[in-house]
Chains A and B, each alone.
Chain A
Amino acid sequence: MAFSVEKKQGFSVVVLNGDVDLSRSPEARRAIMKSLKKMHNVLVDMSAVDYIDSSGIASLVEGFQYARANSLEFALTGVSEAAMNVLRLARLDQVFPIYASLDERITSGA
């Protein structure tokens, strides 16, 4: 299943799903980078992600780095407990802006 990108309230929401592993993370990376290169703020919706490995995380890191360099916003939403564990292991939970949902991001202002 491909990863969809939706325009919502000024954000490009990249919806990841299923397993984001070695075979599918290049696709996730492309989806994220494509939105960023259009100078969109990006939210990555991870609520449908069953499993994400370090190649998936690395793609998120790349996206975040690109966003920072171009003064764009990049945040994760709907991070499952399993995915959170992987992030914590690499201490990236302290790096990415993480919200429960798009709505939480909107109400949080910023």
Chain B
Amino acid sequence: MASMSASKVLMGEPVVEVESLGATYTGIPVLDDISLRVYPGEIMVIMGGSGSGKSTLLRCLLGLHRPSAGRVRLFGQDISGLGVRQWVVLRKKMGVAFQGGALFNSMSVGENVCLPLREHTRLDPNTMRIMSRMKLEMVNLAGFEHLMPAQLSGGMLKRAALARALVMDPALVFFDEPSAGLDPVVAADLDELILRIRRAMQISVVVVTHELESAFKIADRITVLDQGRILMTGSVEELRNSDIPRVQRLLTRTFEEQPVDPEAYLRRLTGGAD
């Protein structure tokens, strides 16, 4: 499946377009010169270890973190200067499934999935209920709508979050760490689910993950992030054949011995005092 879609021609206006983005977090630079595009119907995996800056990149894409340089365009619109109303229009076209689900604890699963509908549409409550049940059905959570989030397992929370992200029929879905904290079987199910939903709804998906295996399984293209920079962007095939040493190291998971500069090392240990 993945290899088939990798050969697919990337067409149309990109739904996500990042141009030489830079970002700092509490004053420390974490992203530098990031550029990437996500095309309609594509699954783009942003991969990197912890501290690679992938979470900050996601927050920039979602408009939750203000970049220090460059720009982000969603559906062709620069998000830096958007007013409240323009944001709402854009938000309705995208869904986000957060790492821990981020379901509202005071509401049942069904109410959580319904929330975007209740806030943004004037549909009949009955229609909303059917819509949210349809989405729960899609993520294999049929019959769980009356449970509270606290009663769900980690994998179920992620699936419920996905249902909530999908309830407005978005054209673009972000998924933060779908396999983090899950056992391999449940994680594989979730990967399968992402593929199925993309196929059926023809939507673009941006997945942020540190899991190599999951990335290879679902990605049309992978962007590898390392220390705040993009190492490479390409299909699974291109990634495998890459001769960039750091990418190879990532694939083989070998530890890189850092050369020691005795002067600098000593200074670090003694706290910089001469």
Contacts and interface: CB of A to CB of B under 8 A. Distances in A.
Contact of A89 (B121, B124, B128, B201): B201
B169 interface: yes
B244 to A, nearest CB: 39
A58 B122 contact: no
Given A53-B169, A54-B169, A55-B121, A62 B127 contact: yes
A29 B124 contact: yes
Interface in B179-229: 197, 200-201
B153 interface: no
B137 A91 contact: yes
B121 A61 contact: no
Contacts of A90: 134, 137-138
Q: How large is the interface on A (under 10, 10 to 19, 20 to 34, 35 or more residues)?
A: 10 to 19
Contacts of A29: 124, 127
Given A62-B130, A85-B200, A55 B123 contact: yes
A22 B121 contact: yes
A26 B201 contact: no
Q: How large is the interface on B (under 10, 10 to 19, 20 to 34, 35 or more residues)?
A: 10 to 19
Given A85-B200, A88-B200, A89-B200, A61 B123 contact: no
A42 interface: no
B71 to A, nearest CB: 29
A62 B138 contact: no
Interface in B115-168: 121-124, 126-128, 130-131, 134-135, 137-138, 167-168
Interface of B: 121-124, 126-128, 130-131, 134-135, 137-138, 167-169, 197, 200-201
Nearest 4 CB-CB pairings of A with B? A89-B200, A58-B130, A58-B131, A53-B169
Interface of A: 22, 25-26, 29, 53-55, 57-59, 61-62, 85-86, 88-92
Given A26-B123, A58-B131, A61-B134, 7 more contacts: A22-B123, A22-B168, A54-B131, A54-B167, A57-B134, A62-B127, A90-B134
6 contacts: A29-B127, A55-B131, A58-B127, A61-B130, A61-B134, A89-B200
